Structure 1
Amino acid sequence: MAAPRARRRGRRAGAGPRGAWAAAGLLCAALVALACWAQLPPAPPSPPWAPGAPRPPVGVLLWWEPFRGRGAAGRPPPDCGLRFGLRGCRLLTDRAALGEAQAVLFHHRDLVRAGAPSPDGAGEAAALAALAAAGARPPGQRWVWMNFESPSHSPGLRGLRGLFNWTLSYRADSDVFVPYGRLRARAGPGDPPAGPLPPLARKRGLAAWVVSHWDERQVRVRLYRRLSALLPIDVFGRGGPGRPVPRCGLLHLLARYKFYLAFENSRHRDYITEKLWRNALLAGAVPVVLGPDRANYERFVPRGAFIHVDDFPSPAALAAHLRFLDRNAAVYRRYFRWRRRFAVHLTSFWDEPWCRACEAVQAAGGRAQVVGDLAGWFES
């Protein structure tokens, strides 16, 4: 991975929904004490180790385990060498080891939620503020803002201006880029394809959609309503017309369908989630995508591997195209040509961000920076 690069943060975007989470205000107040470390001291002129001597391992502390809402000390850290062939990383979960870390990862959703009052009147954000105010943050330590939600679901951004040194997210212009998934080139004939592709005879359904948060106001729900009047679409998940995922498992279920509706909950740059990578490409269904524009998808996926809703003037035209592909097997199979050259890699949010942050520290050396307008960049 290339060394993290300084860049212009985007201009400040318009204010989000008024009062987005009352906890955001508490977060701002709790984190104001962190401004004391917004400007890092200059890097030392030479490394603290002797020339030619092996460099000490890079310590990276994970403050919260992403998407679990608790500290990361609940299970042993991964081995970056075994997982990614990356040596020289010391992954930390004990917050008492703060002084030993060259970088600390803070997951945004947990950071904002921690700003809310807890039963005992304290909160994680307040504890962090007290920690920084007490001067417990070592000079030169990088604090990394980590987020995998879209701007539409990331409240409290404006309270974090100038407080972090790096960004880690699915955005390709993050300091540490960790997408939800990617296509990797197959190493050779022995490298398996992107997942089991059942014969067409086993694809008994036309289209499927898995949705966990049903909201009639969302573009994706409105589009589903129009398409479902024209096509048979099976919906799974919580809310709306969804049914429970059967015991065979998600991938086996979706492999029975020709198409998968990879509809994102909001449309933002580079916000392409497991709906594309796992539910469609890995499962062996052709993705019908709703998210950023086609050009954005084509930065990561071959243009002939997916169907974009923007390519059609109406839901009726899209439905007609899907019916055409259903009747023409040879044309339908063209959407799987990418599997000859690529396999799907799914990101593990437990170990991959952690190890990639270590790799970034190794590559960056002593160079320091401060993320100024975090909200303006992320919402652009």
Structure 2
Amino acid sequence: MFFFFSAKTLSVAVLAFLFGIWIIWTLRQIKDFERTNSNTFKKQPQHLRTHASNTYFTIIFYAKPAWFNPKTVVFDKCSFKNCELTIDKQLFSTSAAVIFHHDSFSTLPEKPSGQVWIFATLESPFYTSKSFNTDRSKMQFNWTMSYRKDAEGFSPYAFLRKQLHIPVKNYTSIFINKTNNIAWVVSHCQTQSKREAYVRELSKYIDVDIYGKCGKPCPFKEDCKIHLSKIYRFYLSFENSLCKDYVTEKILSMYIDGIDFIPIVRGAPNAGDILPHKTYISTSDFKSPQKLAAFLKMIGSDESRYISYLKEKEKYLNNGNGMLKAGICDICYHLNVRKQKPKIIDINKWLWENQCHLPNDIPSEK
């Protein structure tokens, strides 16, 4: 049975009821839209709505790093929910996809037909190659899971989100209490990026205090960087390699509550595509460590300009949820939408081609 109403016969109450239904429907559409996992690193080309499927995919982390806990992966927060992650090797032959972390295996099992093999690493090619024999198994893998944006399983070290509620701080007091210039906490003293040589040159023109295994013990046993940020103006977020997309906790750990340094970045040549503008200083913007030191002295003595960096950095927060967890969500996505047989990857070529460069910003030492 159908009922027809003219505009004259509809009461105000009925109009209000219909308007309310429209509002509820609109809010649901907005909520569906907001379910997408947007971040400052990359937007996967996923559909806006979450998906259901009659197919159920088992993903086995056959060779995982000791620090990874598979229980932290929750597919309810992924675009597709029809996947399960396991470390049970008895399910190997029936799994749709198998993940091998680069330094967690020495031999490989026989590969079932149609199974997708995924090579996982969060290290730069220089440090991945130290523990992985690419010649032995380089043509076994179909997909990759990495910090790199071109990996099927995109796994940044962390995600930066805009803060909904920006903390209120006395920035003038923060500025006045800083009596030292640069701090650096570091545990690897010889690196491919030769960051140690860069710092030696930089320290000729501005004071740099080094803590950790490569320097003196931090005077604060807990929350070392937070405490150091109360008295130091700048912090060196220097990577061990100079590779595309390689942005690690060295810089991302600066975007947490309580750290009031201005970070100085040296690493990925495209760091500006990843990190929020005006929240850091990059060595790549200066022809030499001497030029950088002159700029830091100027910023460090200018209260207004110095505070502007801190205020901009405070708008962003490192909310974790990075490392390999996000990449596994992407693997589930690709299992659902793949339309052709997975390709075979030459891992050695994938690791090195157009990825890294040697340092060219350090004056020759006599």
Q: What SS class does the counterpart of residue 58 from structure 2 fall into?
A: strand
Q: Residues 182 and 300 of structure 1 are in contact (CA less than 8 Å); yes or no, is this contact kept in structure 2?
A: no
**Which residue is equivalent to 2:268?**
292
Q: Which amino acid aligns with 2:349?
A: G
Q: Residues 80 and 89 of structure 1 are in contact (CA less than 8 Å); yes or no, is this contact kept in structure 2?
A: no
- Displacement after TM superposition at 1:260 (Å): 1.2
Q: Which moved more, 1:259-268 or 1:240-249?
A: 240-249
Asked if 1:368 corresponds to 2:335, the answer is no
Asked if 1:161 corresponds to 2:138, the answer is yes
Judged with a 3 Å threshold, the aligned counterparts in structure 2 of structure 1 residues 170 and 245 are, in CA distance, closer, same or farther, namely farther
Matched residues, number: 298
Q: What pairs with 1:66-105 in structure 2 (closer than 5 Å)?
A: 66=65, 68=67, 77-81=71-75, 87-105=81-99
- Displacement after TM superposition at 1:277 (Å): 0.5
CA distance in 2, matches of 1:194, 1:151: 39
**Which residue is equivalent to 1:139?**
113
**Which residue is equivalent to 1:176?**
153
CA distance in 1, matches of 2:103, 2:247: 18
- Displacement after TM superposition at 1:373 (Å): 2.5
State the structure with more CA Rg: 2
Q: What pairs with 1:207-218 in structure 2 (closer than 5 Å)?
A: 207-215=182-190
Q: Which amino acid aligns with 1:78?
A: T
Structure 2 spans left out of the alignment, 5+ residues: 1-43, 355-366
CA distance in 2, matches of 1:210, 1:277: 14
CA distance in 2, matches of 1:105, 1:349: 14
Query: What's the TM-score once normalised by structure 2's chain length?
Result: 0.71
Query: What's the TM-score once normalised by structure 1's chain length?
Result: 0.69
Q: Residues 192 and 241 of structure 2 are in contact (CA less than 8 Å); yes or no, is this contact kept in structure 1?
A: no
Judged with a 3 Å threshold, the aligned counterparts in structure 2 of structure 1 residues 176 and 217 are, in CA distance, closer, same or farther, namely closer
Give RMSD over aligned pairs.
3.0
Judged with a 3 Å threshold, the aligned counterparts in structure 2 of structure 1 residues 103 and 170 are, in CA distance, closer, same or farther, namely same
Pick one of 315, 326, 347 that aligns with 2:289: 315
CA distance in 2, matches of 1:79, 1:62: 12
- Displacement after TM superposition at 1:271 (Å): 1.1
Q: Which amino acid aligns with 1:167?
A: T
Q: Percent identity?
A: 27
Judged with a 3 Å threshold, the aligned counterparts in structure 2 of structure 1 residues 339 and 311 are, in CA distance, closer, same or farther, namely closer
Q: Comparing both chains, which one has the higher relative contact order based on Cα–Cα distances under 8 Å and sequence gaps of 6 or more?
A: 1
Q: What SS class does the counterpart of residue 146 from structure 1 fall into?
A: strand
Q: Which amino acid aligns with 2:323?
A: F
- Displacement after TM superposition at 1:86 (Å): 5.6
Structure 1 spans left out of the alignment, 5+ residues: 4-51, 116-124
Judged with a 3 Å threshold, the aligned counterparts in structure 2 of structure 1 residues 370 and 350 are, in CA distance, closer, same or farther, namely closer
Pick one of 237, 257, 262 that aligns with 2:237: 262
